[in-house]
Copies of this chain bind each other. A is one copy, B any other.
Amino acid sequence: MSKRIVILGGGFGGMYAARALRRKLGRKAHIELINAENYFVFQPLLPEVGAGSITPAHAVSPLRVLLKGVHVRKAVIDNVDIERRIVTVFQGIQRRPTQVPYDHLVVALGQGVDLSRMPGLDEHALRMKTLEDARRLRGHVIEQLEHAQVSQVPETKRGALTFTVVGGGFSGVETVGELKELIDRSLPYYPNIDPSEVRVILVEYAGRILGEMPERLGDYAAEHLQKHGITLKLNTGVASATGTQLVTTTGEVIDTRTIVATIGNAPLPVVRDMDLPHAHGRLKVDRTLRAEGRADVWALGDCALIPLKDDASERTDFAPPTAQFAVREAKQIANSIAATLKGKAPRPFAYTSRGALASLGAKRGVAEIFGYQFTGFIAWVLWRSYYLALLPGIATRIQVMFNWLLDILGARNLVQLRTHAQPQLRYIHYRSGDKVYEAGHRSDGFYSVISGTVEMVREDPETGEVSRRIIGPGGHFGERLILGASRRQTSVHALEDTRVLVVDREAFLMLAEGFPAFREYFRPYMEKRGVDWPPSSQN
């Protein structure tokens, strides 16, 4: 019976490994790839999707079309039993688990994101990891411009027009550059926004940006970004975040409604839980990409710690987490597995970087190729050409080229496709002094205090008399919403750092219908106010 080779993950590492294995082993092995999405994401183009210079559909390709002859399984991986050689998955909408046995396992799951070390960042930061993240960023930025266009409140307008990107690596630099270009090209359509009101800030913990590139190129990039109106804050980290502010480790408080975090790489839980040796959150492999201590498990890409020489110890002795290396590692893994199946010893991995490229927006870039350094327009053209060549599928390549052409010729697409709806339940952080809401505002939810304290202020519309109420943990406010009030009659602000749970009206009524305990708790309050409780079903 032919051997079953199962690949986990459909990014650069997994997709190219599946291709290389197919080519190497033909129909002699059953090759299967498991991925949560049915498409391959071209990660390096995500900043371009985020800025709207290409549409989301053109940054992805269907795995089934890319991988003819490979069995593609769209499924979420629940766990991997290394001893029994079984991957347990949940497929699509199916709730019954499925067990997928293997003879050889290739782990190419990449890295996840963990922002939980910085209070508020996890709840309030946008990411740039998935296609959905990129799409959401674009919608969010246009929303801020739309908002600033009509806002009458100076502080709100300032927050809406301040855009912060955290992390000065490839992803952060390309995102901030593309973001600035999107904004600059959109402003002519927003006559109430003066260009001087826009602030775009890049925050980086180290003393320079693009640390993976030669210093000269990093300096060029920094200079270019600053020349185009981007503020760099180096030697600066994030201390905490709320929905309207970013606090830096240098103590600065930035009023901003847009925080894009490109930092916080962390192992995915399913990789972390594999019964295999780890180091620095990655799977330890030898130079044939075989997992330490196993003959049947292999790993590549960002989830693996891959030594480039036998006595690797320095950071530069290990393969960097780039698409370029992942593609080479994919070939290596196919060779290693093919050799192993023939009973031969695989040869060790060796690859020297051909160089690195980064786009800076505004048709400028930096590049280092075979030791030669390029900057400016020529580097940007090299960058585009390189990624165009790397894109899988002729049709996608033509479409992306065509889109780029249209983008160079015409106006940037300003359409704000709807981003994800607000969740029904959400946590919000406030810093001491922050406004929660003001009298006259639209009622947007029912608030319950988890920690901290808020003060509610009510001015009697007739007598002008002011009454105050302090609300601490366990207390709640904003109930009038449930009675059908569409406007706030009181103002609420935080007296200290405060965390609340907000429930929207529909969810509140669903909970009242679905949970007798919840319903009964609020009955006295509602009946006192003459409300039919519970209200008749919303359906």
Q: Is A368 an interface residue (CB 8 A)?
A: no
A95 CA / B510 CA spacing, docked (Å): 24
Which residues of chain A from 456 to 501 have a CB within 8 Å of any chain B CB? Answer: 474, 476, 486-488, 500-501
Instruction: State which of B37, B64, B97, B501 has its C-beta within 8 Å of the C-beta of A514.
Output: B501
In the complex, the answer to whether A150 meets B511 with C-beta atoms within 8 Å is no
Given A38-B146, A146-B38, A425-B424 in contact, is the A64-B414 Cβ separation under 8 Å?
yes
Given A94-B151, A143-B93, A424-B425 in contact, is the A513-B539 Cβ separation under 8 Å?
no
Tell me the interface secondary structure of chain A in the complex: mixed
Q: Copies of this chain, how many?
A: 2
Q: Is A387 an interface residue (CB 8 A)?
A: no
Q: Which B-chain residue is minimally distant from A57 (CB atoms)?
A: B55
Q: Is A211 an interface residue (CB 8 A)?
A: no
Q: Which B-chain residue is minimally distant from A488 (CB atoms)?
A: B95
Q: Is A296 an interface residue (CB 8 A)?
A: no
Q: Which residues of B contact A441 (CB under 8 A)?
A: 95-97
Q: Is A73 an interface residue (CB 8 A)?
A: yes
Q: Is A526 an interface residue (CB 8 A)?
A: no
A83-95 vs B, Cβ < 8 Å mask (1 yes, 0 no): 0000000111111
Which residues of chain A from 22 to 79 have a CB within 8 Å of any chain B CB? Answer: 37-39, 55-58, 60-62, 64-65, 73-75, 78
A268 CA / B137 CA spacing, docked (Å): 30
Q: Is A189 an interface residue (CB 8 A)?
A: yes
Q: Which residues of B contact A64 (CB under 8 A)?
A: 189-190, 414
Q: Which residues of B contact A409 (CB under 8 A)?
A: 395
In the complex, the answer to whether B95 meets A415 with C-beta atoms within 8 Å is no
In the complex, the answer to whether B539 meets A450 with C-beta atoms within 8 Å is no
Instruction: State which of B56, B416, B487 has its C-beta within 8 Å of the C-beta of A39.
Output: B416
In the complex, the answer to whether A448 meets B93 with C-beta atoms within 8 Å is no
Q: Is A369 an interface residue (CB 8 A)?
A: no
Instruction: State which of B38, B96, B518 has its C-beta within 8 Å of the C-beta of A142.
Output: B38
Q: Which residues of B contact A398 (CB under 8 A)?
A: 406
Q: Is A440 an interface residue (CB 8 A)?
A: yes
Q: Is A200 an interface residue (CB 8 A)?
A: no
Q: Is A389 an interface residue (CB 8 A)?
A: no
In the complex, the answer to whether A423 meets B420 with C-beta atoms within 8 Å is no
Q: Is A123 an interface residue (CB 8 A)?
A: yes
Q: Is A116 an interface residue (CB 8 A)?
A: yes
A416 CA / B131 CA spacing, docked (Å): 11
* Residues on A facing B (Cβ under 8 Å): 37-39, 55-58, 60-62, 64-65, 73-75, 78, 90-98, 116, 122-123, 130-132, 142-143, 146-147, 149-153, 156, 189-190, 257, 395, 398-399, 402-403, 406, 409-411, 413-418, 420-421, 423-425, 427, 437-438, 440-442, 444, 448, 450, 474, 476, 486-488, 500-501, 503, 507, 510-511, 513-518, 521, 539
